[in-house]
Amino acid sequence: MPRALPDTEFFRRTLPDYLAVLLVERGLAANSVAAYRRDLEEFGAWVARRGKDAVTCERSDLRRYLTDLRGRGLAARSAARALAALRGLYRYLVERGLAAHDPTLDLESPKLMRSLPRFLTDREIESLLDAPDVAKPLGLRDRAMLETLYATGVRVSELVGLDLNQLRLDPGYVRVWGKGSKERIVPVGSQARAWLARYLESARPHLDRSRDEKLFLTIRGHGMTRECFWQLIKRYGRAAGITSHLSPHVLRHSFATHLLEHGADLRAVQAMLGHADISTTEIYTHVTRERLRALYDSKHPRA
């Protein structure tokens, strides 16, 4: 059986070698390695205070350590990262014969609470869509982009990546290439189609300086970028009086939430969003239940 080093000697001798492996052989970023160092040094201090040896720790010791972390107010995500650091360390020790067993095997990761997605109210959506000055070509483009984003729920990368030939105004749909190059067909509502038609007829010809095939063009005639659109939506959010954090993804969340609130089928929303797993879409059902509860509490006389 491998000799168990005293804890302080173990961390002085072994931890630098392990971190070097992470940095050089496995190519982890310096910031990630620094985070691993902090997590593992904290674990080493915890072990030392209890007169134990890191090499011979059992699963029950690690479970108690994770419980202590959560008891001190550490978020579940941070505790999960600390466990990931321990898994890597013990795998390294077993591979090199420095430990007889891996106590992290079958050790459950702390439950991560999924935060509910931020979305806009109907009134906020209307204010945001009305913010661009549609008398100008760029304002008309921006209105068409915002309408398309809210009407389809596409990701911002999918929106700015749209080519002209992916849009079908007459039948009213857009063909989207999502994650993993998976294709999906998403309907486009009548109002978004109307604004897209106006943009294509009155604004895009003024922007089309380089015969770019992208649907949405910048003032230089090239395809819109994610970064540029992020800045645009923040600016229009301020103009619309929206004080909370606003991003293109908030409109995607609003699209899904509003559809479900009005009775859309969960599977249909999953297909339109391009989610591979229905559990990802189910987060929006929690949002609608919370809103229903709030409505009940505010309106029912015996709530």
Q: CA 259, CA 129: separation in Å to the nearest integer?
A: 18
Q: CA 111, CA 37: separation in Å to the nearest integer?
A: 23
Closest to 248 (Cα-Cα) out of 115, 114, 117, 116: 117
CB-based contact 25:121 (threshold 8 Å): no
CB-based contact 270:182 (threshold 8 Å): no
Give the catalytic positions in this structure.
Answer: 155, 179, 249, 252, 275, 284
Look at residue 173 and give its three-state secondary structure: strand
Q: CA 153, CA 275: separation in Å to the nearest integer?
A: 12
Q: Name the residue type at position 51.
A: G
Q: CA 187, CA 148: separation in Å to the nearest integer?
A: 10
Structure tokens at 208: 């089309």
Q: CA 130, CA 126: separation in Å to the nearest integer?
A: 6
